[in-house]
């Protein structure tokens, strides 16, 4: 419609202005940086690969995720607050967006049948952002929560906010890899992953780690962007659908996508029981339009330009997310299960 088209034009204009503003400092920044990821040759390769929507290596994904969130997390917090995830839009015309994000956490916990009468005692937040979910769950259940992220900025900011909110004894955050978590087996009775699974290049290893650190009888909750389930006899997504996802992958440092059905099959192989799934795409649908509209002020535009090229490209990818949701290729999937008791 007219409003959506105007928003697209507006965001494109911001992104092009940002690229133009960022370009003069790009050459100098390449000279200042000696790492393989941000060196001159690597920068040229990444620019070429970006134009071609080429898949990244696992190392590039890991380093890129940390860099992307180190640069973009402050802007997100300034505009939207401490919760770096979708909101729960029932009713769909609600405008209290921060509360919608908090409600999403509570509604997912309710859907997964996390019992307030027998609450979790130890929780791990896998891909914790700046720790909004961890702190909320720690307060809600009076439990211990540990969050992991690849971003040093996010881990530090999560600990700062825990201290500010008087939760340092309940919530803590560290830099760690979700595919090789620094925790003993059977450590947590609630394993929580909210919108981080899409970043995992090895979904089999990811699910294995979630189940490994879960205690027997403990609950695992995965909330993640997925592509649609394939129909019976359908070998793959269409080329048009794959093209949309490939462009989003470049902007958000994502590997290849999988479906909710793929996750369920991986959990079955791990011996999970009571597997339940649901599609909440319609519940979070207004989120991306709300995020785009939130950029319609000078503070947001200036913050976006200051955050650098990767954040600007991520902002442009919001339009692709909208397109993917509208086309039905992108789904907001919920999966939960229990680890079998010994």
Asked if 131 and 161 count as a contact pair (C-beta separation under 8 A), the reply is: yes
Residue 141 burial class via C-beta count within 10 angstroms: exposed 0-12, middle 13-18, buried 19 and up: buried
Closest CA to 188 of 148, 145, 228, 135: 145
Q: Measured between alpha carbons, how far is 123 from 191 in angstroms, rounded to an integer?
A: 6
Among candidates 268, 266, 259, which has minimal Cα distance to 332?
A: 259
Q: Residue 51 has what pLDDT?
A: 46
Is 82:132 a contact under the CB 8 Å cutoff? Answer: yes
Residue 71 has what pLDDT? Answer: 83
pTM to 2 decimal places: 0.83
pLDDT score, position 29: 39
Taking the C-alpha atoms of residue 313 and residue 251, their distance in angstroms, rounded to an integer, is: 6
pLDDT of residue 104: 98
Torsions phi, psi for 274 (to 5 deg):
55, 45
Instruction: Kindly give, in sequence order, each residue whose CB lies less than 8 Å from that of residue 292, ignoring residues fewer than 6 positions away.
Output: 7, 11, 318, 319, 322
Q: Profile the chain (342 residues) by mean pLDDT over runs of 10 residues.
A: 46 42 38 43 50 70 87 82 94 92 97 92 97 98 97 97 98 98 98 96 98 98 97 95 91 91 98 98 87 64 57 67 90 97 82
286-311 burial, b if ≥16 CB within 10 A, otherwise e?
A: bbbebbbbebeeeebbebbbebbbbb
Encode burial over 1-32: b for 16+ CB neighbours within 10 A, e otherwise.
eeeeeebbeebeebbeebeeebeeeeeeebee
To the nearest 5 percent, what fractions of the chain are helix, strand and coil? 55, 15, 30
């Amino acid at each position: 419609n007219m409003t959506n088209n105007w928003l697209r034009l507006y965001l494109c204009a911001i992104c092009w202005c940002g690229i133009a503003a960022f370009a003069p400092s790009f050459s100098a920044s390449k000279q200042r940086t000696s790492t393989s990821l941000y060196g001159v040759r690597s920068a040229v390769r990444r620019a070429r690969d970006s134009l071609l929507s080429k898949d990244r290596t696992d190392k590039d994904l890991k380093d890129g995720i940390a860099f992307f969130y180190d640069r973009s997390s402050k802007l997100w917090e300034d505009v939207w607050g401490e919760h770096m995830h979708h909101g729960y839009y029932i009713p769909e015309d609600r405008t209290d967006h921060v509360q919608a994000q908090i409600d999403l956490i509570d509604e997912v916990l309710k859907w997964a049948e996390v019992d307030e009468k027998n609450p979790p005692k130890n929780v791990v937040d896998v891909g914790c952002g700046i720790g909004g979910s961890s702190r909320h769950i720690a307060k809600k259940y009076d439990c211990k929560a540990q969050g992991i992220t690849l971003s040093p900025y996010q881990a530090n900011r999560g600990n700062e906010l825990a201290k500010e909110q008087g939760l340092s004894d309940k919530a803590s955050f560290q830099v760690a890899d979700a595919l090789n978590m620094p925790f003993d087996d059977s450590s947590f009775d609630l394993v929580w992953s909210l919108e981080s699974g899409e970043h995992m290049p090895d979904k089999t290893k990811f699910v294995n780690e979630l189940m490994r650190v879960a205690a027997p009888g403990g609950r695992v909750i995965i909330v993640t962007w997925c592509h649609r389930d394939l129909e019976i006899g359908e070998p793959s997504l269409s080329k048009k659908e794959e093209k949309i996802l490939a462009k989003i992958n470049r902007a958000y440092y994502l590997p290849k996508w999988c479906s909710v059905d793929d996750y369920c099959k991986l959990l079955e192989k791990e011996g999970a029981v009571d597997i339940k799934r649901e599609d909440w795409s319609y519940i979070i649908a207004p989120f991306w339009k709300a995020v785009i509209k939130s950029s319609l002020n000078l503070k947001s535009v200036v913050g976006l330009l200051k955050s650098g090229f990767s954040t600007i490209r991520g902002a442009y990818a919001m339009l692709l997310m909208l397109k993917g949701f509208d086309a039905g290729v992108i789904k907001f999937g919920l999966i939960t299960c229990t680890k079998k008791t010994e």
